[in-house]
C-alpha cells in the first residue's frame, strides 16, 4: 500500500499513487468520499463502528476524501474543505470517547491536497490491530469486525474468541517481563553486572506486542546508530548477540558494568541500571528527580530508534526494582517533612503495573502514573516533581 508506515509522512503523492494503482477497498482500507455533514449520533456510531472493526481485525486505514469507483477501487481525490486541525481534533476525540476500551495506537492525520483549483484535505484514520480489545461502540455496546470490504457485528462466540486473543497477547508481554526479571535475578543477564540493587525498565511497542515488525541490529554494530542507556551515557561498545543489539555502560577492569540496554530483534527493549550511589546509613540512593528525568530521556531516545526501525511510537512502559529493600528514593527529608520509613521500599522486589504511553503524549506527563506508583511504593503520596498544573520540575 502506498501510505507510509509512519502516517505523518503521508503526502498527496502517496494518495495519488493509491489511485494510480487502483487500490482496492478491502480488509485493511476503507474509502469515504466525504465526512458527515453533521456529527449526530448516527454518524458518530458509523465512525466508531468502522474504526473498532479494524481494531478487532487486522487493523487498517479509514480514508475520507477518496472517491471509490463502482468496483470499490480508489478513483479520485476529493479535497475536503473542513479546517484540518479542528477536524483532526474532533475525530480523535470521537475515537477516544466513542469506543471502549481505548484503542491503542489509533492516529488521525490530515493530508493537504489540491485538485485543479480546489485545495483542501484528505483525512486518514489509522487503526492498528489491537491487543487491548475487543472494542465495542459505546452508543450501542456492540462489537464489530472488518471482513473483506465491509464491517459486520460479532456474535457471542466470536467475541469470546477475541477476548482469548487479547488475553494471550497481554500474557505474552507479562511472560516476557517475568522471564527477563528471572534471568537478571539469577545472574543470567546478557553481560556481567556490578553488585547492587537493579533498576529495570521494559519498553514494549504496541506493534511489537502484536508480533508485527522487526529491529535490525547491524546498524548499531557499525556505530551508524547509538544504543541509549539509562544514566548519563549511551552505549560506547555495542555488540550483536542472539537477541539483537546490546549496548553497555562503561565497564570496570573485571568487565562488569553498571548497566546495559538490550534491543531485541522483535522490538522489545530492556534497560538496566545498577544502583550504587550511597544514601543515608545502609541505604543506596535512587535519586527521585534523576530517575524520573533519565526515564523520560530514555523514552525519547528509544522512540527515535523504534521509529527508525518502522515501529509506531506507542508503547507500554514497565518499571521494576530488584533488591528494592536496599534502596531509598533520594530527596530532602527536611523539605518534605516525612518519617523515617517514607521514601524506602518495604520489600525486595517492586514490580510496578504497566503504563501505556500514547504516541502523542509528552514523556513526563505520559510517565507520571508510573512515577507516582514508584513513590507510592516507597510510602509517599506520589511523585514530588510535578506542580499543580501537572508540569514536571526537579525538586529536592
> Where, residue-wise, is CATH 3.30.950.30 in the chain?
7-154
Is residue 284 within a helix (H) or strand (E), and if so which, with residue range?
strand 284-287
How is residue 183 written as a grid cell? 534471568
Q: Which residues pair with 187 in a beta bridge?
A: none
Tell me the pLDDT tens digit for each residue of 231-279: 866 776 789 999 999 999 888 778 899 999 999 999 999 999 999 998 7
Q: Which residues have CB under 8 Å from 163's CB, separation 6+?
A: 134
Closest CA to 211 of 314, 311, 337: 311
CATH number among 3.30.950.30, 3.30.300.30, 3.40.228.10, 2.70.210.12, domain 7-154? 3.30.950.30
Q: Report angle CA 297, 301, 302 to the nearest 5 degrees.
A: 115
Residue partners of 119: CB distance under 8 A and separation at least 6: 79, 112, 113
Measured CA to CA, the distance from residue 154 to residue 145 in angstroms comes to 7
Contact 214, 220 (CB under 8 A): no
| pLDDT at residue 114, as a whole number | 94
Tell me the per-residue pLDDT of 53-84, one tens digit each, with 9 for 90 and over: 999 888 889 999 999 888 888 899 999 999 99
Q: Which residues of the chain have pLDDT under 70?
A: 1, 164-167, 232-233, 236
Amino acid at each position: 500500500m502506498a501510505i507510509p508506515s509512519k502516517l505523518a509522512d503521508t503526502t498527496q503523492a502517496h494518495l495519488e499513487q493509491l489511485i494510480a494503482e487502483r487500490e482496492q477497498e478491502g480488509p485493511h482500507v476503507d474509502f469515504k468520499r466525504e465526512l458527515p455533514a453533521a456529527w449526530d449520533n448516527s454518524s458518530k456510531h458509523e465512525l466508531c463502528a468502522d474504526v473498532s472493526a479494524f481494531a478487532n481485525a487486522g487493523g487498517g486505514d479509514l480514508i475520507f476524501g477518496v472517491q471509490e469507483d463502482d468496483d470499490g477501487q480508489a478513483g479520485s481525490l476529493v479535497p475536503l474543505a473542513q479546517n484540518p486541525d479542528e477536524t483532526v481534533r474532533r475525530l480523535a476525540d470521537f475515537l477516544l470517547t466513542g469506543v471502549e476500551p481505548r484503542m491503542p495506537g489509533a492516529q488521525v492525520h490530515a493530508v493537504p491536497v489540491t485538485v485543479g483549483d480546489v485545495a483542501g484535505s484528505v483525512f486518514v484514520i489509522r487503526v492498528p490491530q489491537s491487543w487491548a480489545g475487543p472494542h465495542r461502540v459505546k452508543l450501542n455496546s456492540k462489537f464489530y469486525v472488518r471482513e473483506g470490504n465491509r464491517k459486520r457485528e460479532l456474535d457471542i462466540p466470536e467475541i469470546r474468541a477475541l477476548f482469548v486473543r487479547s488475553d494471550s497477547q497481554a500474557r505474552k508481554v507479562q511472560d516476557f517481563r517475568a522471564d527477563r526479571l528471572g534471568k537478571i535475578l539469577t545472574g543470567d543477564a546478557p553481560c556481567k553486572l556490578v553488585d547492587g540493587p537493579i533498576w529495570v525498565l521494559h519498553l514494549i511497542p504496541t506493534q511489537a506486542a502484536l508480533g508485527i515488525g522487526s529491529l535490525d541490529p547491524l546498524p548499531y554494530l557499525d556505530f551508524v546508530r547509538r544504543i541509549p542507556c539509562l544514566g548519563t551515557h549511551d552505549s560506547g561498545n555495542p555488540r550483536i548477540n542472539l537477541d539483537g543489539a546490546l549496548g553497555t555502560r562503561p565497564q570496570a577492569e573485571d568487565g562488569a558494568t553498571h548497566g546495559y540496554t538490550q534491543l531485541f530483534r522483535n522490538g522489545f527493549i530492556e534497560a538496566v541500571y545498577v544502583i550504587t550511589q550511597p544514601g543515608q546509613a545502609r541505604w543506596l540512593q535512587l535519586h527521585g528527580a534523576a530517575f524520573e528525568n533519565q526515564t523520560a530521556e530514555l523514552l525519547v531516545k528509544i522512540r527515535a530508534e523504534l521509529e527508525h526501525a518502522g515501529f509506531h511510537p506507542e508503547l507500554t512502559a514497565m518499571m521494576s526494582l530488584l533488591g528494592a529493600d536496599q534502596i531509598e528514593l533520594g530527596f530532602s527529608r527536611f523539605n518534605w517533612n516525612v518519617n523515617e520509613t517514607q521514601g524506602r521500599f518495604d520489600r525486595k522486589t517492586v514490580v510496578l503495573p504497566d503504563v501505556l504511553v500514547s504516541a502523542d503524549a509528552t514523556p513526563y506527563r505520559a510517565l507520571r502514573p508510573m512515577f507516582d506508583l514508584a513513590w507510592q511504593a516507597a510510602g509517599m503520596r506520589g511523585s514530588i516533581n510535578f506542580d499543580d498544573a501537572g508540569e514536571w520540575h526537579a525538586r529536592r
